[in-house]
Amino acid sequence: MTDSTRLPEPLASWVETVLGPLKAVQDASHPRENSQVWRVTGRTGDHYVKVAPKPVLYTRETRAYREAVPHLGHGNAPALKDNSADLLALILTAVDGEPLKGEESLARRRAAHRQAGQLLRRFHEALPGHQAQDEAAHVVESAQSGLDKHIAEASDHLSTAEADTLRRLVSTLPGLGPLPAGWRHGDFWERNLLWNGRRCALIDFERSEPGPLVSDFVKLATSLWPDHPELRTTLFEGYGRSLSDAEECALVAFAAADAASALAYGPRHGDALVTARGRATVKRLMQEGRR
């Protein structure tokens, strides 16, 4: 978490060089230890200052802002005002809206998800698929190679049968052939959809990179769609196409990999929401496997 009243040095000096004197600084971090985000107000209006937790996340986010985010259109995502590799910091314009919440009426929530689908399609198509295939293959390899490590770390939260089921599902990925690829967001779910009641905007691109497009639907498939299948239908209406049979199989496999990762990460970091998502996914995959 950050100090909500001021920016630390030398970050403050750099930001004021770009934006001029600041009138107000407000903490906008996520409730986790390595999140450093501030909303700042100066003579040029409101901006966000974000310090990436790791160099790789800084590199991914700055690349996404330069190459993919402009395809979303004005006002549909923040714009990169400036960045500092030395500080791992970005200055971003502010966009209107708050993270989408379940309290919204169904009609408004569906409108937001339809727009989100449209934005995600533009983002995915910011990089032609043939240029993303090598990196997409690497994502598939990483899902496989990291699985046993995650299962070992989550051993207190997985039975032998559950671990075997996750391994079996993830092992199907190579046999599905090359999956449609492009620029994926990497953390696509309601937390990163800003909604002002009329318009949806997409934020938080630190996990963006080329890869298999279907992997972008895992967070929604494991946290939201089981209870709200109508939102899946609406999002794909906006997206403009359905998943292929191979992508549907890959979505299950990526969900299995995500569940192992969640059960390795959540308990270790005291994150009850991530842990619950992992457990719910494992339970659902086991039930579906018995049908």
Closest CA to 116 of 217, 266, 38: 217
Assess whether 180 and 87 both reside in one domain. no
pLDDT in tens, 167-208: 999 999 999 999 999 999 999 999 999 999 999 999 999 999
- Report the alpha-carbon distance of residue 48 to residue 203 in Å, rounded: 11
Given 93, 113, 146, the domain boundary residue is: 93
pLDDT score of 3: 47
Assess whether 158 and 255 both reside in one domain. yes
pLDDT score of 30: 81
pLDDT in tens, 43-90: 999 999 999 999 999 999 999 999 999 999 999 999 999 999 999 999
Assess whether 72 and 114 both reside in one domain. no
Assess whether 87 and 229 both reside in one domain. no
Assess whether 82 and 103 both reside in one domain. no
273 assigned to some structural domain: yes
Assess whether 136 and 167 both reside in one domain. yes
pLDDT score of 37: 96
Strand partners, 22: 42
pLDDT score of 6: 87
pLDDT score of 290: 55
pLDDT in tens, 146-171: 999 999 999 999 999 999 999 999 99
CATH number at 196 reads 3.90.1200.10
pLDDT score of 291: 47
Report the domain count for the chain. Answer: 2
Assess whether 55 and 127 both reside in one domain. no
pLDDT in tens, 126-135: 998 888 998 8
- Report the alpha-carbon distance of residue 175 to residue 51 in Å, rounded: 39
Assess whether 117 and 259 both reside in one domain. yes
Enclosing domain of residue 229: 98-289
Place of tokens 């533009």: 122
Given 52, 76, 93, the domain boundary residue is: 93
CATH number at 52 reads 3.30.200
| 119 Rama class: left (phi>0) / alpha (psi -120 to 50) / beta | alpha
2 assigned to some structural domain: no
What's the maximum distance between 2 C-alpha atoms anywhere in the chain?
63
- Report the alpha-carbon distance of residue 70 to residue 145 in Å, rounded: 33
5 assigned to some structural domain: no
pLDDT score of 101: 84
274 assigned to some structural domain: yes
226 assigned to some structural domain: yes
Given 43, 69, 93, the domain boundary residue is: 93
pLDDT score of 103: 76
Query: Residue 237 has which token pair?
Result: 């209406």
195 assigned to some structural domain: yes
- Report the alpha-carbon distance of residue 94 to residue 39 in Å, rounded: 8
Query: Residue 94 has which token pair?
Result: 């502010």
pLDDT in tens, 213-270: 999 999 999 999 999 999 999 999 999 999 999 999 999 999 999 999 999 999 999 9
Number of Cβ within a 10 Å radius of residue 123: 26
Residue that wins the pLDDT comparison between 291 and 63: 63
pLDDT score of 257: 98
pLDDT in tens, 93-127: 999 999 998 878 899 999 999 999 999 999 999 99
Query: Residue 156 has which token pair?
Result: 């207190």
Closest CA to 267 of 257, 278, 254, 258: 278
Assess whether 86 and 186 both reside in one domain. no
Assess whether 58 and 183 both reside in one domain. no
Assess whether 180 and 273 both reside in one domain. yes
pLDDT score of 14: 98
Q: SS3 string of the chain? A: CCCCCCCCCCHHHHHHHHHCCEEEEEECCCCCCCCEEEEEEECCEEEEEEECCCHHHHHHHHHHHHHCHHHHCCCCCCCEEEEECCCCEEEEECCCCEECCCCCCHHHHHHHHHHHHHHHHHHHCCCCHHHHHHHHHHHHHHHHHCHHHHHHHCHHHCCHHHHHHHHHHHCCCHHHCCCCEEEECCCCCHHHEEECCCCEEECCCCCCEEEEHHHHHHHHHHHCCCCCHHHHHHHHHHHCCCCCHHHHHHHHHHHHHHHHHHHHHHHHHCCHHHHHHHHHHHHHHHHHHCC
Assess whether 145 and 276 both reside in one domain. yes
37 assigned to some structural domain: yes
263 assigned to some structural domain: yes
